[in-house]
Structure 1
Amino acid sequence: LHLPAFQALEAHWRGLAYLVMSTKTSDNLILRVLDCSYDEVKADFKKATDWDQTALFKKVYTQEYGTLGGKPYGVMIGDFAQFSAAKPDVDALERMAQIAAASHCPFVSSASPHMFGLTSFTDLNKPTSLKKVFNGLDYLDYNSLRSFTDSRYVSLVLPHVLLRAPYDAVNNPADGFDDFEETLGAGADLRSDKYFLWGNPAYYEAALITDAFYTYNWLAAIRGEQGGGLIANLPVFTYTTDAGEQAMKIPTQVMIPDRREGELNDLGFIAICNRKLTNQAVVFGGKTIHNPPKWENSTLAGQMANSSEALSATLPYMLNAARIAQYIKVMLRDTVGSFQTAGTLQNMVNAWLGTLVLLDDEAQQSVKARYPLRNARADVQEIPGKPGYYTATVYLQPFFQLEAIDVTISLVAELPPPAVAA
């Protein structure tokens, strides 16, 4: 049970099982699994002449989002790798970002402890400053990726999460083996992680996303203890120390204090934080890995630009904005072959956007979760030099979990041309 290869296999299946059992599937909420290894993904990226020639792009974009009648994916969860700042990982993340952006389908996976120059997340609190770590020369490629606009479609979660407690006949019996007991060995140091099964935290973020969609039909309610970010009933393990005292193995690989969580959030990581002495954890942050450009903050326009850029680097709002972009494309694709003008297309989009807007600032949070926009507008214009082609710029002003900022997100999509009159 403790062989690394077997633990990795068990972790994959248990992580997937957690997501499946935590998701209330329906005709509108579907889970699909693609069985592929990291080596296969990298080989696909290497073989293709460009990102839009990869098999993964064809699977995610062409076969669904880019096909009439297809069902676009809302989010991709990656369990084929734990990403570090090494060049091969950065290259793979760049490809994933491009595919995710083209498909308007955010990609959520896990960060490796090697991302922070560590061999285990148990040492995550040792560095004095994580910002200084990421300013090192080893992070040039990764920091360049973070400045790439498409990186706002990528989120990395940490640390590893305990998937099950060790088997024993009383506290955690193995199914079908009532008397089976997992032998940890005489003198085993139960403070060590090697005796425990740790898994990909991205599955837990995914479960928060599916729960938000099931509850509200939108995806912003995935942060904070009261805002949809609570993870309950995680496995814990208690044992007796050499001093005869009771101790508990917490369900996350490390206890993350508030200050470190803030550092991780500023660096674009989503941290799962265990509530001390409980089997619960909370996701407070929601950043993507994107490091948005900074504008002059001395003017109102600069302040608004900085706030808008920061918001577009946040996973909850990218999930919603991406879903809206998908719907608009599918809606307008149905107009192909009809005689439409920029004005009629604009009115059509704005009428639908109006159904998502809540005008009551005093409404309850549950109502705001169902109507995630405070304001919205679409501008449709004909593309110069391309008769019959239009571009739509959609401005979204999020309402739910706004955190005292008042900004817009701008999305641009090329619309299909109307039919040409005979």
Structure 2
Amino acid sequence: MEIHMKMGSDGKRKTDVRVADQAGSLRQRFPLKLLVLAELAPRDEQSAPSTIDARRTRVDKETFGAVLQSFVGRVSLTVPNRLGSGPKEWPITLPIGSIKSFHPDAVVEAVPALRDLLEIRQQLVRLRNREISYENFRTELGRLQGGGNLLGRIQSALEAGPAQSSTQRTAPPPAPVRSSTPSGEKESALDSLFDMVEAPVADRSAPESATASTSRLDRFISEVISSGRPGTPADPRAVDAVMKELDEMLGAQLDAILHHPEFQRLEAVWRGVKFLVDRTDFREPIEIDLLHAPKEQLAEIFDRDVFQPESEGTAEAPVSVIIADYIFDRSPRDIELLQDLAEKAEQLQTPLVTAVGPAFLGLESIEELEPLDAAGNLFDQTEYVKWRSLRQGNASRWLAVLFNRFLLRLPYGPEQNRVKRFDFRESVRSDRSFLWGNPAWGLASLLTASFAKTGWCSEVTGARGGGMIEDLPLREVSRRNGEKGQLPLEAPISEAHRIDLAANGILALTCRLNADAVVIPSVPSAHQPERYPDPRETALSAARAAFPYQLVAGRLSQAIGRAAGEIGEGNSPSAIGKIFTKILTEALSVDPDAIEVQAKESEERPDRYDVFITFRPDHAGLSLSAPVGLSLSLRK
């Protein structure tokens, strides 16, 4: 059938949309179905996209862990070696079975060398606390896997006790030869760490000579045993010094793993999914489906696994909103992809939410935005010809484009987000070290919250109207004027810049300094509103270009398409009006006076009725004032 959206008060400006007859019944509340598109699986070691089959997978609070494991399972990385003067790079494989797998404790347990280091640290704690003797300490070290020559050296040193002279300590024997497994991996921390460690320095990436590494090994041996002899208590100061060095070694290597681009990408996408799942009330009829789609394959996957199935109308319920976890730039390829997605979203009557990054504005980093006089002037450049063209088309009404990422978790450290088993302070020398979330996740959480409260996704603006993303992690920031404070966003954006970006189809997340909540005053779509001679028509055009209007129009359109399938032939115009009103008020949980249905014989096709449906959001308790008008044709 064809459903026409009336965009003007005269009903002449409309969008023609073909909607397949939908399966199922509307005799119960119409559910909200979110489809999340993201690259959910790990890339291979050459950064090629995963080859897993694209499939929709339902996720909620109960199934999140199992779904994560099914998409990820494990990730193989080649990380910089921060433990010593051996190979510069170190291949590791980490099991990913839950969101906790991204935590430092889980990473340490998954890497044998780090696990052995942690075990040594734990035994040092016991030695310091006089829970074990030197002999017990030596025995516990001996239980570690492998170790060979170095383990024997430590044991000999422990047996020799403090009788070693300072001369002996400053002239250490040659570093032992490391034994290796057939795969090339070191057998244990005692081989892989103590014989090629770096002294803790300000820059953890700086290499150290083999001589310095050997000296540090000798210090490790001597400091632990020099404060006494077997059978006497350990000097806590000496043990604490060694533990501090162990923590430095663990921290240096953990930073290299946590900040590896692929590990960071995976953690961000799955913490984004969890952010949405945790903030969704699944007691309401809300469904969230995940679809793996690398950006390089997005056009193909979207057409095959989203557009075609949804057009056929074979699903139990159509997709209500699409959340696309990608960052687009202003390149012709990306703008063409956005155009394609918007056009297909329009045909499906399904709003789509995604994001752009600083490169979309021609910036190297988001901090470069603050000193600009007027962000809107950027869009006058020739690089935005395609973007301006996209905005003028009706398809852009169905597209919301966000900007400015938010913090998904705090950096690990003693004061906040503490790692309990050892002293770890995550290195965050630049903004790239933080774990950022796509701003689309923030808007998605408001959509589900609005639906749970009102039955509609449109109440997502204003501090009191559902437009507040609360309880976000905060980080320290310094503004150009010298003002310091805390912020949950990638960068502070002025109100003037926010307005300029909104006028050009971009929703920028903003918040006050020292506030843990983002307030969204308005949600523009990417569409450029039309201007008319009549100011009232221009104002109405602007209201209908807002994304909440499309959220209402999309849900109404899909509900009408489903309701039309339940109306058989042979009904009079008045009967059609009553049936439509009854079905829609039940499915959308609104009062009958919010819906007006008129049916009359078609002037062009005598065998059909033209049905005109007007929905008044303000009569349904919604904040939108502009009525939504749609029309369709039914057989008599």
- Could you tell me how far apart the structure 2 residues matched to 1:119 and 1:342 are? 60
Q: Is 1:61–2:307 an aligned residue pair?
A: no
SS of the residue 2:509 aligns to: strand
- Please, what TM-score do these two structures have when normalized by structure 1? 0.80
| Deviation by residue 1:180-217 (Cα, 9 ceiling, x = unmatched) | 62441xxx64xx31221111010110000100101111
Partner residue of 1:315 out of 524, 543, 547 = 547
- Could you tell me how far apart the structure 2 residues matched to 1:91 and 1:346 are? 42
Q: Is the 8 A contact 1:61 1:72 kept in 2?
A: no
Q: Is the 8 A contact 1:108 1:154 kept in 2?
A: yes
Q: Is the 8 A contact 2:342 2:395 kept in 1?
A: yes
Moved more, 229-238 or 324-333: 229-238
| Deviation by residue 1:232-281 (Cα, 9 ceiling, x = unmatched) | 111123599xxxx9965521011122222222222222222122112221
- Could you tell me how far apart the structure 2 residues matched to 1:246 and 1:127 are? 18
- Could you tell me how far apart the structure 2 residues matched to 1:122 and 1:132 are? 17
Call closer, same or farther: CA 1:379–1:238 in 2, change over 3 Å. same
Q: Is the 8 A contact 1:325 1:411 kept in 2?
A: yes
TM-fit CA distance, 1:372: 9.3
- Could you tell me how far apart the structure 2 residues matched to 1:317 and 1:232 are? 24
Partner residue of 1:295 out of 510, 532, 537 = 532
Call closer, same or farther: CA 1:230–1:196 in 2, change over 3 Å. same
Q: Is 1:217–2:455 an aligned residue pair?
A: yes
TM-fit CA distance, 1:127: 2.4
Q: Is the 8 A contact 2:616 2:626 kept in 1?
A: yes
Q: Is 1:19–2:251 an aligned residue pair?
A: no
Match of residue 327 from structure 2 = 82
- Could you tell me how far apart the structure 1 residues matched to 2:468 and 2:591 are? 20
Give unpaired runs (5+ residues) of structure 1.
46-52, 297-301, 358-369
Call closer, same or farther: CA 1:355–1:112 in 2, change over 3 Å. same
- Please, what TM-score do these two structures have when normalized by structure 2? 0.54
Match of residue 7 from structure 1 = 264
Q: Is the 8 A contact 2:486 2:513 kept in 1?
A: no
Call closer, same or farther: CA 1:238–1:178 in 2, change over 3 Å. farther
Partner residue of 1:306 out of 538, 553, 575 = 538
Match of residue 287 from structure 2 = 30
- Could you tell me how far apart the structure 1 residues matched to 2:421 and 2:450 are? 37
Q: Is 1:103–2:348 an aligned residue pair?
A: yes
Call closer, same or farther: CA 1:351–1:287 in 2, change over 3 Å. same
Call closer, same or farther: CA 1:303–1:380 in 2, change over 3 Å. farther
TM-fit CA distance, 1:305: 2.1
- Could you tell me how far apart the structure 1 residues matched to 2:547 and 2:415 are? 41
- Could you tell me how far apart the structure 2 residues matched to 1:132 and 1:97 are? 25
Give 1:341-420 correspondences, 5 Å limit.
341-350=572-581, 376-383=595-602, 385-386=604-605, 388-399=607-618, 402=623, 407-412=626-631, 414-418=632-636
Match of residue 424 from structure 2 = 181
Give 1:238-253 correspondences, 5 Å limit.
238=476, 248-253=485-490
Call closer, same or farther: CA 1:198–1:287 in 2, change over 3 Å. same
Determine which structure has greater relative contact order: mean sequence separation of CA pairs < 8 Å that are 6+ residues apart, divided by chain length: 2
Q: Is the 8 A contact 2:486 2:514 kept in 1?
A: no
TM-fit CA distance, 1:381: 4.6
Match of residue 150 from structure 1 = 395
Give the AA of the match of 2:311.
Answer: Y
Q: Is the 8 A contact 2:563 2:584 kept in 1?
A: no
- Could you tell me how far apart the structure 2 residues matched to 1:349 and 1:306 are? 31
Match of residue 199 from structure 1 = 437
Call closer, same or farther: CA 1:335–1:261 in 2, change over 3 Å. same
| Identity across matched positions, percent | 25
When Rg is computed on C-alpha atoms for both structures, the one with the higher figure is 2
